[in-house]
Amino acid sequence: MNQIEIEKQSLISKLKQYNDIVMADDGFYCYWPDGTKGFLTSNNLRIIADYLDEINASWQKNIDDYFSKQETIDRIRLDPLGFNE
């Protein structure tokens, strides 16, 4: 494991330990620090952003799938005979 991966795993472990990653009302996880643990570097923030993208990917896929199906359902419902295709 290289140094970057070690730093990433350490930071993610701390985020979990301090409960800084929480699920928002929309179902996506977000970074919600309490502000008492010091500073973060831009590299730390990139790691957090990448981690959030990773853990939110399945939820985003569910939403994308739902709306792609809704678009088809809406198109059929609004134009059942296909006149506007």
Is 9 within 8 Å of 37 (Cβ atoms)? no
pLDDT of residue 78: 64
What total of structural domains would you count in the chain? 1
Residue 83 domain-assigned (yes or no): no
pTM above 0.75, yes or no: no
Residue 84 domain-assigned (yes or no): no
- For the chain, give the number of residues: 85
Residue 49 domain-assigned (yes or no): yes
Q: Residue-wise over 11-35: b if at least 16 C-beta within 10 A, else e?
A: bbeebeeeeebeeeeeeebeeeeee
CA 54 – CA 58 distance, rounded (Å):
8
Residue 10 domain-assigned (yes or no): yes
In the structure, what pLDDT confidence band is assigned to residue 71 with cuts at 50, 70 and 90? low
pLDDT of residue 24: 94
**Mind listing the pLDDT tens digit for each residue in 19-69?**
999 999 999 999 998 877 778 889 999 999 999 999 999 999 998 888 887
pLDDT of residue 85: 60
Q: Which domain holds residue 39?
A: 3-78
Residue 15 domain-assigned (yes or no): yes
Phi, then psi, of 72 in degrees rounded to 5: -65, -45
**Mind listing the pLDDT tens digit for each residue in 1-18?**
799 899 999 999 999 999
Residue 70 domain-assigned (yes or no): yes
